Structure 1
Amino acid sequence: MVANAQLPQTYEAQTQAIARELLAQSRQKRSLWDKIGDNLRLDEHLLDWAMEHPGLRLQLFRFIDCLPSLQSKTEIAHHLQQYLGKEQVELPGPLKNILNFTDAQSGPAQAAAGLISKATEILAFKYIAGETIPQVLKAVERLRKEKMGFTIDLLGEAVITETEAQAYYQSYLDLMTELTEKTRPWSTVPAIDQAEEETLPRVQVSVKLTAFYSQFDPLDPEGSQAKVCDRIRALLRHAQELGVAVHFDMEQYAYKDLILNILKDLLVEEEFRSRTDIGITLQAYLRDSLSDLQGLIPWAKHRGYPITVRLVKGAYWDQETIKAQQNHWPIPVYCEKAQTDANYEAMTQLLLENHEYLYAAIASHNVRSQAHACAIAEQLSIPRRRFECQVLYGMGDNLAKALVKRGHRVRVYAPYGKLLPGMAYLIRRLLENTANSSFLRQSLEERPVEELIAPPQIKGLDTLPSPGYPNVADTDYAQTDLRNQAFQALAQVQHRLGKTYLPLINGQYVKTETTLDSVNPCRPTEIIGKVGQIDLDQAEQAMEAAKAAFPSWKNTPAKERAMILHRAADLLAQRRHELNAWICLEVGKILPQADAEVSEAIDFCRYYAEEMERLSHGIRLDVAGETNYYHYQPRGIAVVIAPWNFPLAIAMGMTVAALVTGNCALLKPAATSSVIAAKITEILVEAGMPAGVFQFVPGKGSVVGHYLVNHPDVHLIAFTGSREVGCRIYADAAVLQSGQRHLKRVIAEMGGKNAIIVDESADLDQAVAGAIYSAFGYTGQKCSACSRIIVLDAVHDAFVERFVEATRSLNIGPTDLPSTQVGPVIDAVAQQRIQSYISQGKQEAEVAWEGPVPEEGYFVSPTIFKNVSPQAVIAQEEIFGPVVAIIRVASFAEALQVANGTDYALTGGLYSRTPDHIDQANQAFEVGNLYINRGITGAIVSRQPFGGFKLSGVGSKAGGPDYLLQFLEPRHVSENIQRQGFAPIEGADQ
């Protein structure tokens, strides 16, 4: 039963009365043109101008985001020109005057840079309590004079190395120790230091769980919990010794359930069970936040001692919606601010009506939200210990004073730290202050009181538009049920290992004289399956079956062929977790990367089916008296030679592209991924692919592959693999065989030597994390993987230090362990080849990192070389493993020259916040796929059609609008429809 349940459960009248009182005391009139003496208050007007001009707001905040990384006034002036000097950015007169310069090195430019920098710094320190503890102490002393408590948060958005996690932990130990020592002489302020008979901690800190472990991952809840809890326990013990309260912040939605589960488990441990100086945070903009709170209440009753729940609305709305839209996941946050406000009020009521079990910290700058909480607290006569109001430092100051005046305990959330790691926090505050829906902005604009304090008016917006192709969603492993399904499938597949898989020829599985053992590269003694290997006679039988099946398949309507692909996509989706497990075990991918591959295979099926239906209509180009019809026909027989590194996605993509266009296809997989190719076969057969149209022909590449490539009845070869094999196929296919009456088409993707450029304006958090994933995702065994990082001199040393530490922090091991980020290479041959390149690199450059690896399995350490010459072997040749060459350059022009200085042109990346550099890369970076401020792997069908040029390959981009055209022959039919001067007129009725 909730406390005081006999009281009325509506608090609206009192909410309105308190809101009017608070608003009257906190509303502040301010002119857009406030001045101090003759000097314009530029820091204040930056916000005003941002609210007045949406285009300026976007560019201004982008400039502020990169400002701390700029090293000189000239750089700052240059970036001001690029961000704010564009014609499409509407500038207020005073700002236009400040930016009235053309030469970034001129006196006016230097003055403008200084003025804007100082204004931004002043603006930042309105929201950040200080860069040092002494500065923070001065700030909180001012708060105590106004009878406000505080909680201190150490700024920093990304912990991507274990060194940083340890430093974060130690910083909090030091912070608590120093704050306790400095605050001990302070006199007592009863309004915040006492409640009833209890003395409250003067010092409170707010911490982030993800910062205690660099590899914090919802896929590995047990491992993450074990790593994090060791540090949390030590932190809580230290806090108890000092008498410091600890509050745990909430972060991105992906971590929410894991954070709650960790804290629930930890805080019922006997050592911590009776602690009431600990808090957790809930975010009301999350759709499931009310349910989370409802779940906390029985937990708190069981615990027997209250903790504090800080109720916030949420700070990552844009990030959460964008991530959900990009991944085609349900949006976890409310799409309408009024929905969040209504949920906040419902949670406030539930929390306060259960104040015996959970203490409430109502964190909001919305007068109505605080008034609603105050109304409930007063009606229920909630003891002061069990309820407090919270605001952010520099926001809602007048509201905080008004709440103090009413007798409420008020606490200010005060971040401190260096401006560079705090920039993300500052941008969030600026966005909040200037958003149209912001209560602070609406109050400043003097909206009517009735409008400001009215109950939330929900319009019913429940989703957001998601433009682009509707790709299938990857598995969200933050969801417990999906995570459980994944590991159940993995366990089931592990009990099905060692079976024999036979080739499929003319609709029948056929026995072979020999089989090949496919093994787990993590544990080579573990046989995944035995795969029958065809001989040349069987290869010829498959070819004859394809020839016989082709006429009928060619004439099968495109819609019927497309329907088979749609059924195949549905089967892939149904078997997703099982297929993930096979990929994980046969080729050594971790589950999330295997899962993305299944998504890509599904997308290939659906996208190519839709594309073929579009192409099947042809193009009418009629004129008076003449019809003209441009259309396509299939080429004939396609041989698909698939790689092992994307054994499902690429094999399926090339195969179904050939099939849906009306060709017959023979799939010859790589030996090391033949079991997965057998699974493709099962799916296509179940989907209804006719006998002879598709055939599974595993066999030795130098024998069977060579025979098929050179066969005169083959019309097309689709190949993905090494440059050496691809060039040989290209040459062999060019030879006109006896009886051959056509020229063979070759589609070949042959790898890359891909580079990421990091310039002096880059966000190093993003750059390091993106480069790590691009270089060492799937152990560097992607043709798109980053193998060169070209870093400008100004940030070179800082980047290398963090990149090395981030690599050192990666977990290397078997890929069926959820903690693993880097698995094995594919086989012993690959292992030896990569190790020989590492030996070569040690002669050419300096090893920055090479670590230990498991003894069992085909493991190679992620290896980083620095001081690498652009012409070194390790900077020129494709290694296809976890080896990265870091190249230092002096200028961006040199960076582009080095990036383009290889035989390959597949993918490339740039981390930069300099618009000119982004424009130059767009024009001059010679790659098929250029990625800016994100990783360079993981192309998505339709969104990022994939493929390169130079020696990276030949052919149109996979997953793009012209890919299927390679599998088709264009035809044109022109007919004169005149008869003795008479021609039918379409639509005429005369």
Structure 2
Amino acid sequence: METPQNQEIFSKAVALAETWQNRANELLTKEEKNIQDQMKRLLTHPHDKVLLSKLIDQSFRSKDPKRVADQISNLMEDEGVPEFFSRVEKILIQMFVGVGKHVSSFAVPRMIEQMRSASSRAIIPGEPKELHGHLQKRREQGIRMNINHLGEAVLGEGEAASRLETYKNDMADPDVEYISIKISTIYSQINSLAFEETVGTLKDRLAEIYRMAQQHYFTRPDGTSIPKFVNLDMEDYRDLEITYQAFIRTLDQEEFKDYSAGIVLQAYLPDSFGMQVKLTDWARERLSSGGAPVKLRIVKGANMEMEKVESSLANWPLAPYDNKLEVDANYKRMITYGMEPENIKAVNLGIGSHNLFELAYAAVLAETKKVSDYFYFEMLEGMADHVRRALQETSGDVLLYAPVATKDEFINAIAYLIRRLDENTSPENFLRYSPDLNVGSEEWSYLKKTFLDSCVQQSQAQNFPNRIQNRATETFDTSISSFRSNCFSNEPDTDWSLAANRTWAEAIRRRWKKSPGDEIIEIPVVVGGQERKNSRELREIMDSCQHKDKISVARYHLASKEDALDCLSVAKDDPDGWRELSSERRHEVLADVAMELRKSRGELIGAAAADTGKVFTEADVEVSEAIDFAEFYPLSVRQFDQLETIASEGRGVGLVISPWNFPIAIPCGGIVTALASGNTVIFKPASDAVLSAWELCNCFWRAGVSQNTLQFIPCSGAEVGPIMTASNDVDFIILTGGTDTGLNILKQTPGVYLAAETGGKNATIVTDMSDRDQAIKNVIHSAFSNCGQKCSATSLLILEKTIYDDPHFKQQLVDAARSMKVGSAWKFSNKIAALIKPPSGDLEKGLNSLEPKEEWVLKPEMVENNPYIWSPGIKYGVQPGSYTHMTEFFGPLLGVMRAENLDHAISLVNQTGYGLTSGLESLDKREQQQWKDEVFAGNLYVNRGTTGAVVLRQPFGGMGKSALGPGLKAGSLDYFSQFMNFTEKGYPHVGVINQGHHLLQIANEWKLLLQWNKLQPLKGEIDNTIHAIKSYLYAMENKFSLEEDYFHLRGQDNLIRYLPIKEMMIRLHADDTLFETLARIAAAKIARCSLLLSRPKEVRNEVIEFLESRYGKEFLGKTAVLTISDEELIERMDSLGRIRYAAPDRVPEAVFAAAAETGFYISRSPVYMHGRIELLQYFQQQAICDNYHRYGNLGERSLI
């Protein structure tokens, strides 16, 4: 509010800021002027900031001087020498690029030491002698110091204990007055959902530090002694409430009644003002009861870039304000409220800023309200030191926030340096303008205006949170449906940092955690619209997390053979006419399914926990994925409906066989894609996840999918299952499960259309150029989340030899895994809960034995005497080709291998024969590119965990032994197409083709020949082929040759690309038309497959005659027609990537049978002219997810 009194304060603040700026300019030293000149050069050349960030980030990763020299030289060669360097520095850099890598053992340590020295103004050396010397020097200058240790990421409780000891030692150090700590440095298992346990642990650990602070005193220069001071920094938004509660609850203890401690609030969060009011009310009550005041440090916030990345990836609202005006207004509002005499006496203030207008505002306001003794300024060490000296001349008391790192810890200061670089160069940041800033200049006037604008905006700035998700009360507008919006966005997961959602989770737990005597859910078989129970075998569903108490949560009836036969008949007959509905009407119904899934999120989570022992955080993500499938697949069908010359219909009856490890998302995806494609569905759930499946089916039925259209058949896989998998009434099978299960189905019915995602022996490679802390964090989550029971889980960790031989990396890895909370899913602090069954087979062997040269660095153990619950295990020394290397365990077991280099590591990955997911941890773009080019897997992840694929962002599916069928990815735009039959109604529309191709020349020549009445007996076939060639070229140019990212998320690339099938065999048959033959050959050539063409000896017809003619030879080019028998074809099968027939009935039974033995895919769909459909047969999809940001910094993307 702008009143005369306020206007006077604003004017006085501007005048004081001008005084300070003028004095600061007078105090500027030559060294500081040189630094300012360098900063001006950096601001003039924005790309230099990108290169500087990369140099800081990558120069310290490897301990091998040759590797560092190579990396730095590569960066300089690619990006050029930064302009912000001085002339002498440029010469030295150029000399390093020229000869440094040849004398790396000499040059690299000196260059790194120079970089560390250059940053020592901002980061204080942490070695005892240097640190104490600096603290004593600052003390003599009358400057108070607040030190913050920049150690490695706290990934485990061992490191947390070490950091706790460091803080306690600081309290005993006579030279240390004041420290800042973060909750993430004293507890490695912070868990928003386990709020009370997390706060309780933090309270205990903070108490240890506060206790030491009370026991030790700091002697000021005037001889007075005061207790040591501990300030609690604020970090990510998700930890805001946890940090606040840990702070007040610790100080609420009687022993700390007389102790003063501090906390930070960030003004860029609209939540902070309300939290300040709560803090102040609490502190005033504490003061009135005889307690000591506390201190609040008000800052604007330095984690904006990471908050933006998290918001983008999670599809949550941005937690901070999205504009600088409101941030500044909220900052002043917090200062104004805090300066009220009755408030500031209970909550002393620290005003953290380098903006002279903000500091002057606080000073003038404090003087006006006569509370100047209750606040002081806080600034960063090494930032605008001349300004600090000007302030100190008038205000006296300035506290410097000083990050501290030893030489060994300096790599852990990188995130801080990059954040500071981002902040200091931000277009709206005061420090950006500080070089040569003069009162009255254009820059000064701009800064003054922004200050005054925010002054009058204080009361208007938003004071309620941006994140308000409440699962208990949320409602859903139908306009969010893809049916109505015609667009797709991923469903947000639950934000567990919000109290309302934690309360909602507790209510789910009360409903679903059963006790003895509770009513047991009874689950029927559902066939032909009837729920069948009587005279059927019953199976109990036991809560594995309550194994000792033998709690039964449900029982289900097993379908009989008669039930299976009945459901096949109903599915074939489609009595409710689902197949006759338009795709739009089906989309409308499935949009209602998505809404039911949203409404049923809590029940689905509870069922998954009771049924499969899945922790809530994992089950919640599954529900989001299920909703995504329900929204996405019908929209994909709609896009294909827009192909004007294509008519489509469902294949008929789909059998969906789902796994237990993803009991919600995967069956939902299979059911939805089959329904959206116009098929009736028989759903056979995993026997270990029937309760979750039942809850899921009810969502479909409530939304309007009939019990005739979707039938529910829990049954014995050995006795009743084969009746359905072998039935001619089943037109396709969607399976997610073991490779052996899929092969058994194929062997039983070799010609069945099976789309199966099977197992994976997934590896993450960590190179010498990795961010080790990030690598461990990603690997631990990938290996052990959901007890390692994800087909995408990292079960092999392949370390470049320098990493493998590093005892500290091993220690960190083990510490992180050992620290994971293990136990019942009903206890929210546990991140690892129950296995689906007690270990048996490969997993039992893996958990209990070692192969030659292997050693346990972390031995797995049964937890709580529950055979379902096991702690993580890690084996080092896994040998190439060994049992551990080649076997999928599907449990909490990680094998670690040593690789000589990246080439060796990639070879070890590819040796397994699986190809589902693969991860790389490296900051070197060259390594990333090599890995992308050479590793064999369907889903690639760079600097990210290998689990948690999101619909359309990272469509999911593998290669090799990890897929049976065509390998189209679940969650991709193409996936549903394999469950539809297409009919061409005319020639496909083709736009401009920009790239030349020899087949295009041939097509144009043939077109002329037809116009000249040549080739008339073959006119129809040739005409179709001409249109096909052009459609294929157009589709290749506009779809299949592209790497597409449908989301463009901040900080993460999600690319989908098509890889041509290697060794593609086109197999001819006597019934093949000339078009079917030429089109397949053209498609393979245009798709850039390695093409092989073969015919049986007995095939000799007009097609072969054409191929042997002048026209055919020109068309074939160097491709020869091999004459081989079916037996010879079968012998060659292992060396082929795929065989393409023109129709299913032209595939010999012997070929189908041979293919079934290994899961080899025989492509046999009709041959289409339309390239968007036909070319799908000649590619494998690959998804690449790359977390390219660094601590939120976007690198060169920030310049766009």
Same fold, judged at TM 0.5 (above)? yes
Q: 1:634 touches 1:967 (CA, 8 Å); kept in 2? A: yes
User: What residue number does 1:197 align with?
Assistant: none
Q: 1:791 aligns with which of 795, 799, 803?
A: 799
How big is the shift at 1:857? 4.4
- The answer on 1:745 being equivalent to 2:749 is no
User: What residue number does 2:1151 align with?
Assistant: none
Q: 1:96 to 1:138 in 2, by over 3 A?
A: closer
Alignment of 1:166-315 (within 5 A): 166-178=161-173, 180=174, 183=175, 203-243=177-217, 244-276=228-260, 278-304=261-287, 305-315=292-302
Cα displacement string for residues 748-793 of structure 1 (whole angstroms, at most 9, x for unaligned residues): 1111000000111211111111111100000000000010000111
Q: 1:102 to 1:177 in 2, by over 3 A?
A: closer
How big is the shift at 1:337? 2.1
The more displaced of 58-67 and 680-689 is 58-67
Alignment of 1:348-497 (within 5 A): 348-353=335-340, 354-384=343-373, 386-417=374-405, 418-444=409-435, 446=437, 447-456=442-451, 457=453, 469-495=488-514
How big is the shift at 1:396? 2.6
Secondary structure, aligned partner of 1:509: strand
User: What residue number does 1:973 align with?
Assistant: 985
How big is the shift at 1:80? 1.9
Q: 1:137 to 1:807 in 2, by over 3 A?
A: same
* Aligned partner letter, 1:400: R
Q: Distance in 2 between matches of 1:56 and 1:922?
A: 28
Cα displacement string for residues 425-444 of structure 1 (whole angstroms, at most 9, x for unaligned residues): 12212222222222111222
How big is the shift at 1:684? 0.4
Q: 1:51 to 1:109 in 2, by over 3 A?
A: farther
Q: Distance in 2 between matches of 1:70 and 1:975?
A: 58
Q: 2:48 aligns with which of 56, 81, 85?
A: 56
Q: Distance in 1 between matches of 2:579 and 2:435?
A: 69
The more displaced of 303-312 and 779-788 is 303-312
Q: 2:633 touches 2:676 (CA, 8 Å); kept in 1? A: yes
Secondary structure, aligned partner of 1:85: helix
Q: 1:549 touches 1:691 (CA, 8 Å); kept in 2? A: no
Q: 1:764 to 1:664 in 2, by over 3 A?
A: same
Secondary structure, aligned partner of 2:377: strand
User: What residue number does 1:569 align with?
Assistant: 594
Q: 1:906 touches 1:928 (CA, 8 Å); kept in 2? A: yes
Q: 2:210 touches 2:230 (CA, 8 Å); kept in 1? A: yes
User: What residue number does 1:712 align with?
Assistant: 728
What is the TM-score of this pair, normalised by structure 1?
Answer: 0.89
How big is the shift at 1:732? 2.6
Identity %: 29
User: What residue number does 1:733 align with?
Assistant: 749
Q: 1:91 to 1:410 in 2, by over 3 A?
A: closer
Q: 2:675 touches 2:681 (CA, 8 Å); kept in 1? A: yes
User: What residue number does 1:542 align with?
Assistant: 567
Q: Distance in 2 between matches of 1:30 and 1:148?
A: 18
User: What residue number does 2:859 align with?
Assistant: 850
User: What residue number does 1:908 align with?
Assistant: 918
Q: Distance in 2 between matches of 1:92 and 1:6?
A: 46
The more displaced of 163-172 and 396-405 is 396-405
Q: 2:60 aligns with which of 53, 63, 68?
A: 68
How big is the shift at 1:634? 1.1
Q: 1:825 touches 1:831 (CA, 8 Å); kept in 2? A: no
Alignment of 1:16-27 (within 5 A): 16-27=14-25
Q: Distance in 1 between matches of 2:849 and 2:161?
A: 35
Q: 1:251 to 1:748 in 2, by over 3 A?
A: same
Alignment of 1:532-931 (within 5 A): 532-549=557-574, 552-617=577-642, 619-620=643-644, 629-735=645-751, 744-796=752-804, 797=806, 798-828=808-838, 830-831=839-840, 833-842=842-851, 845-852=854-861, 853-931=863-941
Secondary structure, aligned partner of 2:941: strand
Q: 1:720 touches 1:748 (CA, 8 Å); kept in 2? A: yes
User: What residue number does 2:319 align with?
Assistant: 332
The more displaced of 404-413 and 779-788 is 404-413
Q: 2:851 touches 2:883 (CA, 8 Å); kept in 1? A: no
Q: Report which structure shows greater RCO (CA 8 Å, sep ≥6).
A: 1
How big is the shift at 1:263? 1.1
How big is the shift at 1:838? 2.6
Q: Distance in 2 between matches of 1:144 and 1:101?
A: 40
Q: Distance in 2 between matches of 1:930 and 1:956?
A: 16
* Aligned partner letter, 2:542: V
The more displaced of 235-244 and 79-88 is 79-88
Cα displacement string for residues 655-686 of structure 1 (whole angstroms, at most 9, x for unaligned residues): 11000110111110001100111111110001
* Structure 2: stretches of 5+ with no match in the other structure: 218-227, 468-486, 989-1200
Q: 1:151 touches 1:206 (CA, 8 Å); kept in 2? A: yes
Q: 2:37 touches 2:435 (CA, 8 Å); kept in 1? A: no
User: What residue number does 1:521 align with?
Assistant: 544
Q: 1:161 aligns with which of 143, 156, 164?
A: 156
Q: Distance in 1 between matches of 2:770 and 2:40?
A: 28
Q: 2:42 touches 2:84 (CA, 8 Å); kept in 1? A: no
* Aligned partner letter, 2:365: I
Q: 1:867 touches 1:888 (CA, 8 Å); kept in 2? A: yes
How big is the shift at 1:880? 0.5
Q: 2:39 touches 2:84 (CA, 8 Å); kept in 1? A: no
The more displaced of 226-235 and 484-493 is 226-235
User: What residue number does 2:1063 align with?
Assistant: none
How big is the shift at 1:613? 1.6
User: What residue number does 1:982 align with?
Assistant: none
Q: 2:526 touches 2:707 (CA, 8 Å); kept in 1? A: no
User: What residue number does 2:1021 align with?
Assistant: none
Q: 2:576 touches 2:708 (CA, 8 Å); kept in 1? A: no
The more displaced of 224-233 and 291-300 is 224-233
Q: Distance in 1 between matches of 2:282 and 2:668?
A: 48
User: What residue number does 2:1020 align with?
Assistant: none
Cα displacement string for residues 242-265 of structure 1 (whole angstroms, at most 9, x for unaligned residues): 121111111111111011011111
Cα displacement string for residues 496-554 of structure 1 (whole angstroms, at most 9, x for unaligned residues): 76210112212221224112112222224222211111111111111111111179322
Q: 2:576 touches 2:706 (CA, 8 Å); kept in 1? A: no
User: What residue number does 2:945 align with?
Assistant: 935
Q: Distance in 2 between matches of 1:15 and 1:699?
A: 78
* Aligned partner letter, 1:522: C
Q: 1:393 to 1:641 in 2, by over 3 A?
A: same
Secondary structure, aligned partner of 1:127: coil
Q: 1:831 touches 1:858 (CA, 8 Å); kept in 2? A: no
Secondary structure, aligned partner of 1:86: helix
Q: 1:82 touches 1:915 (CA, 8 Å); kept in 2? A: no
* Aligned partner letter, 1:74: K
Q: 1:507 to 1:89 in 2, by over 3 A?
A: farther
Cα displacement string for residues 711-754 of structure 1 (whole angstroms, at most 9, x for unaligned residues): 0111100000011101112333324xxxxxxxx32101111000
* Aligned partner letter, 1:861: S
Q: 2:732 touches 2:754 (CA, 8 Å); kept in 1? A: yes
Q: Distance in 1 between matches of 2:683 and 2:105?
A: 64
User: What residue number does 2:1111 align with?
Assistant: none
Number of equivalences: 923
* Structure 1: stretches of 5+ with no match in the other structure: 184-201, 621-628, 736-743, 977-990
* Aligned partner letter, 2:914: Y
Q: Distance in 2 between matches of 1:469 and 1:842?
A: 48
* Aligned partner letter, 1:655: I
CA RMSD of aligned residues (A): 2.7
Q: 1:550 to 1:890 in 2, by over 3 A?
A: farther
Q: 1:535 touches 1:699 (CA, 8 Å); kept in 2? A: yes
Q: 1:784 touches 1:906 (CA, 8 Å); kept in 2? A: yes
How big is the shift at 1:338? 2.5
Q: 1:708 touches 1:714 (CA, 8 Å); kept in 2? A: yes
Q: 2:73 touches 2:101 (CA, 8 Å); kept in 1? A: no
Q: 1:442 to 1:528 in 2, by over 3 A?
A: same
